[in-house]
């Protein structure tokens, strides 16, 4: 798991704290968000913004450095995305990555052409000039390549810093203008020397200081919440996950009893979780939680429903209805607190191709609401103090606020809960079976001290029955699937190589202790082609 750190998000009147900012101009790369995370690991704040941002707008942002991301296009395509050419004259250090490097070369007078042979995957980087950008980057270090085009002629004033067997100009620079380009992706985990290169750019070339710290973020977030909310009441829909729990702790520290947390128990949580959550928040940390038992209502919505999307839709709609009823009963409230994170912000302002012009344009992919999309007549103002943070940063903030490790390190859990880990119709019997099987999974991986080795580890119940034999008697019962995966961010995942003795203990306990189950299987599908969840 990546552990990045946080920065003081902005200059605040009277605070004397100055922002350090690196911006990433996004050209549609799948790695743009990852670049931002890697920058934050250096304790410098970073943001992903549109490639359409003008030089004048960049001047107003006053970044210490600019990074041009990769992208799926070729720079010589008719409708290839272009940045404002005036950015090269701002005097701000710029690093072009893959497509970003090629665009820099093209706009400044060099040449980019289709390579005779593309380069994909790991490649050894041979350093020709070890100064500046490549200081302390080891000779022949492995970097991750993914390109079919190559630079064939450098712009005036540029020189080669490094090459690979297939790419003569794998890293380039115009040191006097502080313009740099790399054909590889230093931000991905496969690039062994990538973080050293990023540190060189951030610290030595952009002259940044490590000011993005957890303590600074918490202090600033509390100040901003108090200034925005004043003496008004705030409502938070608490799920028990790390995002909403961290938000609850942060808001409680900022505004105390002006915060009301509402926990809607839809009946699809894991064994003992609702009781544990209420005890933890109310008895241990004295944060008031309004408990709403809506189990019967949600289960009634799923009678006869087998389609996974219909399940999600019905659960989401019922959540809105319950939330609306209870918020009116407990209210009035002026503000709704949401655990919106930075990836949600990026996705909501992502870019796409205009089907008529072929140009990349900003489109809103979806609205992110932790409570499923609220009706307009509730008319809350939003409080979203976590909207600048990545998931790993939220965990750090939660930990600094005193959130227990069992919540800080909690595996991702889907909003519809166990309802989408039961394939087919959700019934009380099947929920009980899956709760018990899932409980055994969590117990055993905790006993083995392997909980934090997995991105997710859970059980799935299949809506079929298989033949078995127990005690000389023929059985006809459900199979349970174990799904354990490793991942850095959930975008891709690999099946976990779990020790056989651990799998054996889990399987034996499930078959012996959970009535209605006579078979346990293990899913060895990676993502892609599969998904982590089964529905």
Binning pLDDT at 50, 70 and 90, where does residue 469 land?
confident
Q: Which of 83, 98, 206, 261 is catalytic?
A: 98
Q: Of the listed 33, 119, 187, 220, which one is catalytic?
A: 187
Query: Could you please report the per-residue DSSP string of 416-433?
Result: TGGGGTB-S---HHHHHH
HEC assignment per residue over 244-304: HHHHHHHHHHHHHHHEEEEEEECCCCCCCHHHHHHHHHHHHCCCCEEEEECHHHHHHHCCC
Rounded CA gap, 146 and 475, in Å?
A: 53
Taking each helix axis from N to C end, the angle separating 500-513 and 428-447, rounded to the nearest 10 degrees, works out to: 150
Confidence of residue 324 (pLDDT cuts 50, 70, 90): confident
Residue in 120, 193, 195 with CA at minimum distance from that of residue 150: 120
Report the C-alpha gap between 461 and 232 in whole angstroms.
45
Clarify whether 185 is annotated catalytic: yes
Residues constituting the chain: 535
Q: What is the pLDDT of residue 357?
A: 38
Provide mean pLDDT across the span 517-522. Answer: 96
Q: What CA–CA distance (Å, rounded) separates 11 from 17?
A: 6
Work out the pLDDT band at 79, boundaries 50, 70, 90: confident
Model pLDDT, residue 347: 64
Query: pLDDT at position 16, please?
Result: 31
Which tokens in the block code for residue 56? Answer: 């004048």
**Residue, of 244 and 473, whose pLDDT is higher:** 244
91 has a pLDDT exceeding 50: yes
- In this prediction, residue 491 carries a pLDDT of 74
Q: What is the pTM of this model?
A: 0.78
Distance CA 177, CA 18 (A): 25
Q: At residue 2, does pLDDT exceed 70?
A: no
Q: Which of 371, 363, 523, 517 is nearest to 436 (CA)?
A: 517
Residue 460, SS3? strand
Whether 114 has a pLDDT exceeding 60, the answer reads yes
pLDDT (0 to 100) of residue 226: 95
Alpha-carbon distance values, 526 to 62, 230, 487 (Å): 42, 48, 10
Highest mean pLDDT among 19-33, 319-333, 501-515: 501-515
Tokens 């750090």 belong to residue: 396
Q: How far, CA to CA in Å, does 498 sit from each of 167, 314, 485, 501?
A: 39, 36, 9, 9
- Higher-confidence position of 352 and 20: 20
- Any catalytic annotation for residue 187? yes
Q: Which tops the pLDDT comparison, 339 or 256?
A: 256
Distance CA 449, CA 61 (A): 46
What does the alpha-carbon distance between residue 116 and residue 106 come to, in Å, rounded to a whole number? 19
Is the peptide bond prior to 203 cis by the omega test (within 30 degrees of 0)? no
**Higher model confidence: residue 263 or residue 8?**
263
Cα-only R_g, the chain: 26
Burial call 421-449: b when 16+ CB within 10 Å, e when fewer: bbbbebeeebbebbbbbbbbbbebbeeee
Spatial distance between the Cα atoms of 491 and 228, rounded to a whole number of angstroms: 34
Residue 377: per-residue pLDDT: 59
The reply to whether 513 belongs to the active site is: no
Least confident of 88-92, 146-150, 374-378: 374-378
The CA distances from residue 189 to 121, 356, 520, in Å, are: 12, 37, 34
Distance CA 220, CA 7 (A): 10
In this predicted model, which residue has the larger pLDDT, 70 or 444? 444
Q: What's residue 67's pLDDT?
A: 96
Q: Which of 516, 535, 534 is nearest to 437 (CA)?
A: 516
Six-digit token string for 109:
């007078």
What are phi and psi for residue 239, nearest 5 degrees? -105, -20
Q: What value does the mean pLDDT take over residues 181-208?
A: 92
Give tens-digit pLDDT for 362-391.
Answer: 222 223 334 445 555 556 788 899 988 888
Q: What is the DSSP string of 176-202?
A: GGTEEEESS-TTSTT-TTHHHHHHIII
Question: How much of the chain exceeds pLDDT 70, in percent?
Answer: 90
Lowest mean pLDDT segment, chosen from 342-346, 443-447, 512-516: 342-346
Residues with Cβ < 8 Å from 441, sequence gap 6 or more? 457, 458, 459, 482, 506
Task: Note the pLDDT of residue 475.
Answer: 84
In the numeric block, which tokens belong to residue 232? 């008004």
Q: E strands, 276-429, where? A: 289-293, 335-337, 351-353, 360-362, 381-383
Closest by alpha carbon to 477, among 520, 523, 428?
520
**pLDDT bucket at 119, cuts 50 / 70 / 90:** low
- What rounded mean pLDDT belongs to the chain? 86
d(CA 189, CA 280): 37
CA-based nearest residue to 412, from 113, 73, 1, 17:
1
Beta carbons of 132 and 205 less than 8 angstroms apart = yes
Cα dihedral across residues 497, 501, 506, 512: positive or negative: positive
Kindly indicate the confidence band of residue 508, based on its pLDDT and cuts at 50, 70 and 90: very high
Average pLDDT score over residue span 275-295 = 91
267 phi-psi bin (left φ>0, alpha ψ -120 to 50, beta other)? left
Q: How many CB atoms lie within 10 A of CB 319?
A: 23
Q: How confident is the model at residue 111 (pLDDT cuts 50, 70, 90)?
A: confident
Q: Hey, what are 285's tokens?
A: 């940390």
Residue 30 is predicted with a pLDDT of 80
Lowest-confidence pick of 47-51, 299-303, 393-397, 466-470: 466-470
Query: How does pLDDT run across 57-77, given as a tens digit for each residue?
Result: 999 999 999 999 988 888 888
């Amino acid at each position: 798991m990546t552990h990045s750190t946080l920065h003081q998000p902005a200059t605040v009147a009277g605070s004397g704290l100055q922002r350090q900012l690196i911006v990433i101009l996004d050209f549609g790369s799948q790695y743009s968000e990852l670049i931002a995370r890697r920058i934050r690991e250096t304790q410098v704040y970073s943001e992903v913004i549109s490639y359409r941002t003008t030089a004048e707008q960049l001047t107003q942002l006053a970044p210490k450095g600019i990074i041009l991301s990769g992208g799926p296009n070729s720079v010589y395509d008719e409708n290839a995305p272009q940045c404002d050419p005036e950015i090269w004259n701002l005097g701000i250090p710029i690093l072009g990555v893959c497509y970003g490097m090629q665009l820099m070369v093209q706009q400044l007078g060099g040449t980019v052409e289709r390579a005779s042979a593309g380069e994909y995957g790991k490649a050894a980087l041979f350093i020709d000039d070890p100064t500046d950008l490549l200081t302390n980057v080891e000779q022949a270090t492995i970097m991750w390549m993914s390109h079919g085009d190559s630079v064939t002629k450098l712009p005036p004033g540029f020189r080669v810093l490094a090459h690979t067997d297939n790419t003569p100009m794998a890293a380039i620079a115009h040191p006097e203008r502080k313009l740099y380009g790399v054909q590889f992706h230093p931000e991905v985990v496969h690039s062994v020397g990538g973080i050293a290169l990023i540190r060189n750019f951030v610290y030595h070339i952009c002259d940044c200081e490590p000011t993005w710290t957890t303590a600074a973020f918490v202090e600033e977030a509390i100040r901003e919440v108090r200034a925005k909310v004043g003496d008004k009441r705030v409502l938070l829909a608490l799920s028990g996950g790390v995002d909403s729990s961290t938000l609850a702790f942060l808001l409680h520290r900022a505004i105390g009893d002006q915060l009301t947390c509402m926990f809607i128990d839809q009946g699809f949580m894991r064994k003992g979780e609702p009781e544990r959550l209420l005890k933890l928040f109310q008895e241990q940390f004295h944060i008031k939680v309004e408990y709403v038992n809506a189990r019967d209502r949600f289960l009634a919505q799923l009678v006869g429903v087998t389609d996974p999307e219909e399940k999600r839709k019905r659960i989401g709609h019922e959540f809105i209805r319950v939330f609306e009823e209870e918020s009116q009963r407990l209210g009035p409230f002026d503000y709704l607190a949401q655990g919106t994170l930075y990836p949600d912000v990026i996705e909501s302002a992502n870019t796409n191709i205009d089907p008529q012009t072929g140009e990349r344009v900003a489109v809103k992919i979806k609205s992110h609401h932790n409570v499923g999309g609220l009706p307009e007549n509730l008319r809350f103002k939003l409080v979203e103090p976590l909207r600048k943070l990545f998931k790993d940063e939220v965990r750090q903030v939660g930990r600094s606020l005193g959130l227990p490790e069992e919540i800080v390190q909690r595996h991702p859990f889907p909003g519809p809960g166990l309802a989408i880990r039961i394939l087919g119709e959700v019934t009380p019997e099947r929920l009980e079976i899956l709760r018990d099987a899932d409980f055994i999974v969590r117990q055993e991986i905790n006993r083995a001290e392997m909980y934090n080795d997995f991105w997710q580890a859970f059980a799935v119940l299949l809506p079929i029955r298989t033949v078995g034999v127990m005690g000389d008697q023929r059985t006809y019962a459900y199979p349970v699937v174990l799904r354990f995966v490793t991942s850095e961010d959930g975008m891709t995942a690999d099946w976990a190589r779990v020790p056989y003795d651990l799998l054996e203990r889990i399987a034996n306990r499930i078959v012996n202790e959970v009535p209605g189950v006579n078979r346990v299987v293990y899913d060895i599908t990676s993502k892609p082609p599969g998904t982590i969840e089964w529905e």
